[in-house]
Amino acid sequence: MTIFDVPASSPTILQLVWLILVAVLWIGYLFLEGFDYGVGMLAPFLGKNDQGRRVVLNTIGPHWDGNEVWLLTAGGAMFAAFPGWYASLFSGLYLPLLLVLLGLIVRGVAIEYRSKQDNAVWRKAWDWAMAIGSLLPALVFGVGFANFVKGIVVEQTQTAFGTSVPTVVPVFWGLFSPFALIGGLLFVSLFLTHGAFFVGLKTTDVIHDRAQKMGSTLGLVTIVLAIAFVVWANAAYFNLPGQLGWLKIVAWITGVLVVVSLAFAWFMNSKNRDGWAFIGTALATVMLTVMIFAHLYPGLGFNNSVNQGTPLDLTTASSSPTTLTIMTIAAACLVPVVLAYTVWSYFFVFRRRLNTTNIPALEVTTAA
């Protein structure tokens, strides 16, 4: 018997708990790595020379590699709690996930290698590589989550031993529908705005002013994209098998809060309230993730409407009750420690603002 042979039934408490925990891990990743991606994409534009770009990069220097661990943890939780979900995603969406991996590799190498030579051309090339490496995951995640909201088609296929199992059957170019492209652009724009407000929060002088001005423009674009995505997602794509009516209300409420939070962030940025502007985009990221996960219950982003056998959903993709119980005990012990350490590092260790006086310049420089 495989995990796909379990008959469909109502989810257990532990299955619901782990869907919520997976959502929390994705919230942590998108919130923390969101501004990392934004800073990476903005670095070539906010810093007009090496000294200015190093100020921008040093705002995420102590955190960026630690923030990536949230993605590993989210993926690990999906693998352990819902192996059917994890296996279907990685087998059916191999190419998009490969693009994410390549982007993460390029970004990491760029951050580490740009300082290996005191050469302006060398460093500028790596800065653009970092911008591209930050853009790719943001775009792919946006397109991917939009397709989960829409529902990725699942069909029944026969294995070599005659067993019928649900299989994700995506067509790569078919993933880029107009709705999915709006999702991709929204994630890119949201992370750019989030990153601009983070740089504004962590810097002073000309870099701060430049980030604040750029964030104001990006914020308006993000608000427009968020309105389009929220209305389209909740009006057209809450019709998959098993979805609950009250979760549609949750999706609408959180979707509205996305737009309200972005408008609040834009307004606070215009009033030079950097901290509140950053909190606004952080709340928008959290609410957007909650809205998306409201769409994922119970089918985990899969459209089983053409599936004539066992559906691929929260119950059939889940691990055994014993596994979930052990994982729950471990998570109850470790997750509070991770959250406490993250809060401590951000608010008590690396809270000082930066400017060009903190960064030694190369021999030949221009205005920051």
Tell me the H-state helices in the chain: 13-46, 50-58, 64-81, 83-92, 94-113, 120-150, 178-202, 205-236, 245-270, 274-296, 321-344
DSSP character at residue 271 = T
In this predicted structure, the answer to whether residue 233 has a pLDDT above a threshold of 90 is yes
Other beta carbons within 10 Å of 267: 14
Over residues 256-279, mean pLDDT: 96
Over residues 30-50, mean pLDDT: 91
In this predicted structure, the answer to whether residue 140 has a pLDDT above a threshold of 90 is yes
CB 135 within 8 A of CB 104: no
CA 233 centroid distance within chain: 17
pLDDT of residue 15: 94
The pLDDT confidence band at residue 166, using thresholds 50, 70 and 90, is: low
Q: For 42-83, write each residue's pLDDT tens digit.
A: 999 988 788 888 888 888 888 888 888 899 899 999 999 999
Over residues 113-137, mean pLDDT: 90
Tell me the average pLDDT of the chain: 85
- Per-residue tokens: 244: 């609950």
Task: Report helix angle 120-150 to 205-236, nearest 10.
Answer: 20
Segment holding 302, helix H or strand E:
strand 302-303
pLDDT of residue 170: 60
More confident residue, 6 or 93: 93
Distance between CA atoms of 25 and 23, rounded to whole angstroms?
5
CB 94 within 8 A of CB 341: no
In this predicted structure, the answer to whether residue 136 has a pLDDT above a threshold of 90 is yes
